[in-house]
Amino acid sequence: MTSRYEVVIGLEVHVQLTTQTKIFCNCSTAFGKQPNSQTCPVCLGLPGALPVLNRKVAEYAIKTGLATNCSIAPRSIFARKNYFYPDLPKGYQISQFELPICEHGRLDIEVEGQPKSIGITRIHMEEDAGKLLHDSGDTSRVDLNRACTPLLEIVSEPDMRSSDEAIAYLKKLHQIVVYLGVCDGNLEEGSFRCDANVSIRPWGQKEFGTRAELKNINSFRFIKQAIDYEIERQADILDDGGRVIQETRLFDTDSGTTRSMRGKEEAHDYRYFPDPDLVPLIVSDEWVEQMRRELPELPEAKISRFVGELGLPAYDAGVLAADRLMAEYYDSLVALNGNAKLCANWVMGELQRALNDSGTSIADCPVTPQLLAGILKRIDDNTISNKIAKTVFDAMWQSGKDADTIIEEQGLKQVTDTGAIEAIVDEVLAANPGQVEEYRGGKEKLMGFFVGQVMRATKGKANPAAVNEMLKKKLSG
């Protein structure tokens, strides 16, 4: 039984950076191009080709380190990590080993209401390998477009004790790198992928158990499944008196199981040594402070501001801050309208519904904050009701016209004239004498029926507050 064992999880996350060119050459990093069309002597590892560090990669590394509470090293060096696969033409990967650019960070997570701090051991820069394509049969081909693509490897401490904690950490990290703009966060394209080191030990034992590394999983759901399966697998081995073997394992998404891939390499297996082609990277205090000034307001700070300054409920604040562009849209809307809760309701309601239904991203939203603010203004001054406002919004989404134009063209202005409303109320009550008698006999739920009849007669244009007030006055009389 796994309850007999304490679970120990550490994660290594590979974050592909959004630079337009590769880490050590000027080749494009665009995804999905014709195989081997984005290569040069540097990323092909041809003799005599010399790498030159892309400054933007170092800047993204510094920003990520600052956002995850890391110390930024004033001096870091690149190392050669030696191993040979066909997708690594040089026979080594340029990475960092003894002196990474960022160390000793942390991320604060929450699982089932319980806060926890997860340590970050290091963040280092490295290049990606190419991609092997396996045909049916014995043939494999190699696409080196991805070779030399810039990565950050973010290594956690073995601080997580369940798959739920691991997923909370990964989602928090994913949100941060996307907020920073250093990664597009696309899991399907491999922009954010994870290796999970999983081990178990009897409760109370200080020494870690033997770990298995689950390699290159690019879905939060599959990561959780793989970790949970691996915990059960190791527990079964120990319960049967066996011994867990240190190895690298792959997760089979079809069967939901892990299988052995190869023995797990240790650091000495890679024969690390400083890369003689690259000089040490010197990061000045001024450079760090410049990167700090360029950091956006991060999700936790946004949530705190939305709750503390705007008075939003914590739930609303969390939903709005989850996506940076959505949060910026909301901030712009509040600046135009001022009613923070009304703005939140519309962004989380009608706007999000329309985005979901149309498959549109907030970046391509046809209803700008300025246009939506026009609708809210007409709600505030009673030109239209909330219900009519939704009709205006749908028309705005399709046409791009402003609220006033749509209201005028479609004759949607709200009826606020009490005389006109009273005449229609009288007609409705006269047409439904039975319901009037039932209401006056105590069946007050019929109020909704009367309101509906009046709104139908006015095609939804009557001011709902005025209708309710008039009906109560007439029915009580």
State the pLDDT at residue 473. Answer: 75
Examine the pLDDT at 1 and tell me if it is beyond 50.
no
Question: Do 227 and 319 have their domain in common?
Answer: no
Q: Are residues 38 and 131 in the same domain?
A: yes
Q: Which band of pLDDT confidence, cut at 50, 70 and 90, is reported for residue 420?
A: low
* Same domain, residue pair 449 and 311: no
**Domain-embedded: residue 124:** yes
The mean predicted confidence, pLDDT, of the chain is 91
pLDDT at 278 over 90: yes
What pTM, to 2 d.p., does this model score? 0.84
Give the tens place of pLDDT for each residue, 456-471. Answer: 777 777 777 777 777 8
The model's pLDDT over 224-271, given as tens digits with 9 standing for 90+, comes to 999 999 999 999 999 999 999 999 999 988 898 888 887 655 656 789
Q: Which residue has the higher pLDDT, 156 or 454?
A: 156
| pLDDT tens-digit map of 343-401 | 999 999 999 999 999 999 999 999 999 999 999 999 988 888 888 899 999 999 999 99
Domain extent, residue 338, equals 297-410
The per-residue pLDDT for range 314-338, each reduced to its tens digit, is: 999 999 999 999 999 999 999 999 8
Q: What distance in Å separates the CA atoms of residue 305 and residue 321, rounded to the nearest whole number? A: 10
Work out the number of other CB atoms within 10 angstroms of the CB of residue 404: 15
Per-residue model confidence (pLDDT) at position 430: 80
**Torsion region of 311: left, alpha or beta (phi above 0 gives left; psi -120 to 50 gives alpha):** left
Q: At which of 381, 410, 439 does a domain end? A: 410
Q: Is residue 291 part of a domain?
A: no
Percentage above 70 pLDDT, the chain:
96
Residue identified by tokens 């081990």 is 199
How far is it, in rounded angstroms, from Cα 307 to Cα 314? 6
- Cα-to-chain-centroid distance, residue 370: 26
pLDDT value of residue 467: 75
Residue 162's pLDDT is: 95
Same domain flag for 301 and 323: yes
Asked if residue 171 and residue 116 are part of one domain, the reply reads yes
Q: Is residue 55 part of a domain?
A: yes
> Quick one: 54 and 120 in the same domain?
yes
pLDDT band at 184 (very low <50, low <70, confident <90, very high): very high
d(CA 16, CA 223): 18
Q: Percentage of the chain with pLDDT > 90?
A: 71
Q: Do the domain assignments include residue 292?
A: no
Condensed to tens digits (0 to 9), the pLDDT of residues 105-140 reads 999 999 998 999 999 999 999 999 999 888 777 888
Q: For residues 69 and 292, give the distance between their C-alpha atoms in angstroms, rounded to a whole number.
A: 11
The amino acid sitting at 353 is R
Segment 256-265 long-range contacts (CB within 8 Å, at least 24 positions apart): 256/225, 256/229, 257/229, 257/233, 258/212, 258/214, 258/226, 258/229, 258/230, 258/233, 261/215, 264/211, 264/212, 264/213, 265/83
Is residue 50 assigned to a domain? yes
With cut-offs at 50, 70 and 90, classify the pLDDT of residue 427. confident
Query: What was the pLDDT predicted at 365?
Result: 96
CB hemisphere CA count around 408 (13 angstroms) = 5
CATH of the domain at 472: 1.10.10.410
Query: How many domains in the chain?
Result: 3
Say if residue 457 is in the same domain as residue 429. yes
Residues 32 and 166 in one domain: yes
In a domain, 449, yes or no: yes
- For residue 311, pLDDT over 80 is answered with yes
Question: Buried (b) or exposed (e) across 223-233, using 16+ Cβ within 10 A?
Answer: bbbbbbbbbeb
3-state secondary structure the chain: CHHHEEEEEEEEEEEECCCCECCCCCCECCCCCCCCCCCCCCCCCCCCCCCCCCHHHHHHHHHHHHHCCCEECCEECCEEEECCCCCCCCCEEEECCCCCCEEEEEEEEEECCEEEEEEEEEEEEEECCCEEEECCCCCEEEECCCCCCEEEEEEECCCECCHHHHHHHHHHHHHHHHHHCCCCCCCCCCCEEEEEEEEEEECCCCCCCCCEEEEEECCHHHHHHHHHHHHHHHHHHHHCCCCCCCEEEEEECCCCEEEEEEECCCHHHHCCEECCCCCCEECCHHHHHHHHHHCCCCHHHHHHHHHHCCCCCHHHHHHHHCCHHHHHHHHHHHHHHCCHHHHHHHHHHHHHHHHHHHCCCHHHCCCCHHHHHHHHHHHHCCCCCHHHHHHHHHHHHHHCCCHHHHHHHHCCCCECCHHHHHHHHHHHHHHCHHHHHHHHCCCHHHHHHHHHHHHHHCCCCECHHHHHHHHHHHHHC
* Number of CB atoms found within 10 A of residue 280's CB: 12
Give Cβ neighbours of residue 209 (< 8 Å, ≥ 6 apart).
5, 8, 199, 200, 201, 234, 244
Pairing of strands 79-82, 92-95: antiparallel
Residue 2: its pLDDT value, please? Answer: 59
**Whether residues 267 and 303 fall in one domain:** no
Largest interatomic CA distance in the chain? 98
**115 shares a domain with 89:** yes
Last residue of a domain, one of 240, 267, 286: 286
* Mean pLDDT calculated for residue range 46-64: 96
What confidence category does residue 414 fall into, taking pLDDT thresholds of 50, 70 and 90?
Answer: low
Given 369, 391, 410, the domain boundary residue is: 410
**Statement to judge: residues 388 and 469 lie in one domain:** no
Same domain, yes or no, for 251 and 395? no
308 pLDDT exceeds 60?
Answer: yes
Q: Express each pLDDT in 22-44 by its tens digit.
A: 999 999 999 889 999 999 999 99
Q: Which region among 87-96, 240-249, 451-460 has the lowest average model confidence (pLDDT)? A: 451-460
pLDDT for residue 437:
73
- The predicted pLDDT at position 428 comes to 78
Burial 15-50 (b: 16+ CB within 10 A, else e): bbbbbebbbbbebebeeeeeeeebbeebbbbeeeee
